């Protein structure tokens, strides 16, 4: 079996890649940092293939195709690339860069994977969004809004695939806080470890879950979070 993981140079994507490598899969890994890709590729050169790819650039779909060719095909596409920063001063540059990666880049790569699977006749598109999409977060407007965008976009693709009678499966993975370079420091509540989160992700993909919140504590939190009325939510001082 063959999986392509975009955003496998660090954090969650890298841990997921390691698990698939351990299971004997053919694994295609991508991201912007060539040396990080190379260090992982070297761990299992007969199984791992890499491609430098920036989701914000127009050549990303061609680079994805080149990676698929190196791997010899694609059964599962996993998008783990993403950026996120708190931005309480609402610096426009941070907001726009976040949208370029998490919205534009997300569309660019999921549509490329969709068209590949459409031609192939089957496939599985999985993406790591976040629980941050549940409600607009004042301290991270673009991050929370782009994650909500990803949730909705996958819903839309799922409906479109059924309308067009395509055999494409979708998995929307929504973790809570995970200790990765994205968070920069450990000062977050209910912080999870990336290798454990990666295990839950592999399981959810294998079970073809449509939506998965990781872990059970965050499932409870999200349940209650959704119940907070808007007029209360906008008055809450939500920090990390
Ligand atoms: N950590 C958390 O608490 C948490 C919680 C919920 C959801 N998530 C989501 O999980 C995903 C993975 O994040 P992480 O926590 O594992 O952080 P991370 O360690 O910073 O990983 C982010 C990955 O995205 C890649 N990436 C970023 N910009 C890219 C671009 N323009 N083109 C290609 N690849 C790009 C990075 O690779 P390069 O830098 O090499 O390009 C890296 O491999 C993100 O979508 C994030 O929003 C994280």
From the alpha carbon of 12, which atom of ligand 1 is closest? 16
What count of residues does the chain have? 240
Yes or no: say if 128 and 175 are a contact pair by the CB < 8 Å rule.
Answer: yes
Give distance in angstroms: CA of 235 to centre of ligand 1.
30
- Answer whether 133 contacts ligand 1 (Cβ < 6 A): no
Whether 26 contacts 1, CB under 8 Å:
yes
**How many A from CA of 231 to the centre of ligand 1?**
32
pLDDT digits (tens, 9 = 90+) for 28-70: 999 999 999 999 999 999 999 999 999 999 999 999 999 999 9
Global pTM value: 0.97
Extents of the domains making up the chain: 2-233
- Nearest atom in ligand 1 to 147's CA: 47
Closest to 32 (Cα-Cα) out of 2, 1, 14, 7: 7
Average pLDDT over residues 132-154: 97
The CATH architecture annotation of domain 2-233 reads: 3-Layer(aba) Sandwich (3.40)
Q: Report CA-CA distances (Å) from 6 to 30, 87, 160.
A: 5, 25, 23
Q: Which two tokens stand for residue 13?
A: 């994507």
Q: What are phi and psi of 221, to 5 degrees?
A: -60, -45
Interval 185-234: pLDDT, tens: 667 889 999 999 999 999 999 999 999 999 999 999 999 999 999 999 99
Percent of the chain with pLDDT over 90: 96
Indicate which residue's Cα is closest to atom 26 of ligand 1. 81
């Amino acid at each position: 079996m063959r999986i392509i993981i975009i955003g496998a140079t660090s954090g969650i994507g890298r841990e997921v890649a390691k698990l698939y490598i351990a299971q004997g899969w053919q694994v295609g890994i991508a991201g912007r940092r060539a040396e990080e890709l190379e260090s992982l590729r070297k761990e299992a050169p007969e199984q791992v293939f890499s491609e430098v790819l920036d989701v914000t650039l127009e050549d990303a779909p061609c680079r994805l195709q080149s990676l698929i060719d190196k791997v010899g095909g694609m059964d599962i596409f996993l998008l783990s690339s993403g950026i996120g920063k708190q931005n309480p001063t609402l610096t426009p540059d941070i907001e726009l860069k976040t949208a370029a990666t998490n919205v534009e880049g997300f569309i660019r790569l999921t549509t490329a994977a969709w068209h590949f699977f459409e031609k192939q006749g089957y496939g599985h598109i999985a993406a790591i969004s976040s629980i941050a999409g549940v409600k607009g977060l004042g301290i991270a407007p673009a991050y929370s809004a782009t994650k909500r965008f990803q949730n909705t976009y996958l819903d839309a693709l799922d409906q479109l695939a059924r309308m067009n009678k395509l055999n494409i499966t979708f998995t929307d993975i929504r973790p809570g806080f995970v200790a990765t370079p994205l968070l920069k420091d450990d000062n977050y509540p209910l912080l999870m470890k990336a290798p454990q989160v990666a295990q839950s992700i592999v399981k959810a993909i294998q079970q073809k879950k449509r939506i998965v919140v990781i872990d059970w504590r965050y499932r409870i939190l999200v349940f209650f979070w959704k119940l907070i009325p808007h007029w209360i939510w906008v008055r809450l001082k939500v920090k990390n």
